[in-house]
Amino acid sequence: MRFVVLGDIHSNVEAAEKARKYIKEKNPDAVLVCGDITHSGGKSEAQKLIETLASDKIPVFYVFGNMDRVNPDFQVEGINAKCLHGKKTEFKGVDIIGLSCTWEYDFLSDIEKSEKPLIIVSHEPPKDCLDKTWNGSHAGNIQIRNFIEKIQPELMFCGHIHEAHGEAKIGKTIVCNVGKLGSGNIITIDINDEIGVTRDRI
């Protein structure tokens, strides 16, 4: 299985168009978007940007960030896309949990890991992991950190702290801060017998 993962579009239409071309070349099973789709934009702008990424063949699964002026579970209409926030979604034998930026995630206590591989798609990073800001402070979320330590999902994708993009591990969990799309950051994930992370520039 293959996913293309991106985040922090911040209303950059040119970057979204470049991502669309990249998605077509990589031909993933799905695209995962880690929030801040807009830069203080609302529903119509979010819809247009997600439409740029989506196709009939390749679905887009997304969450929203702190810069998106929409409800955290807002569903776009008429395209092959779905908001993941607040639930576990099964896709081709993989479970995906979505965390739009609400700052509190009490519903995580009700989620258990099945035998399927589990992926978290979040805007916020976990506390003390790929969350270090330009001034040296750690801006990650402790609830997300605790959930990862307890459940140990296979993969966790996030954004929000642009300068902290990279890969790390919490226990067995691979954590990827995908970085800002407008700076050229995009990731391809291949899940076979092992998990392969390919960080590209567009």
What's the pLDDT at 103? 83
Q: Give dist(CA 33, CA 31) in Å, integer.
A: 7
Q: Does residue 31 surpass a pLDDT of 90?
A: yes
Q: Which residue has the tokens 């993009």?
A: 165
**Rg (the chain; Cα; Å):** 15
Residue 172: HSE in the Cβ half-sphere, 13 Å Cα cutoff: 10
- At 172-189, the pLDDT tens digits run 999 999 999 999 999 999
CATH number of 2-201: 3.60.21.10
- At 62-73, the pLDDT tens digits run 999 999 999 999
CB 92 within 8 A of CB 128: no
What's the pLDDT at 193? 85
Which residue type, as a one-letter code, is found at position 98?
Answer: G
- What is the band of 147 on the pLDDT scale with cuts at 50, 70, 90? very high
Q: Does residue 139 surpass a pLDDT of 90?
A: yes
The mean of the pLDDT values for the chain is 96
The domain limits of the chain are 2-201
Q: Does residue 89 surpass a pLDDT of 90?
A: yes
Q: Give dist(CA 62, CA 53) in Å, integer.
A: 11
- What is the band of 55 on the pLDDT scale with cuts at 50, 70, 90? confident
- % of the chain beyond a pLDDT of 70: 100
Q: Give dist(CA 65, CA 99) in Å, integer.
A: 9
- What is the band of 167 on the pLDDT scale with cuts at 50, 70, 90? very high
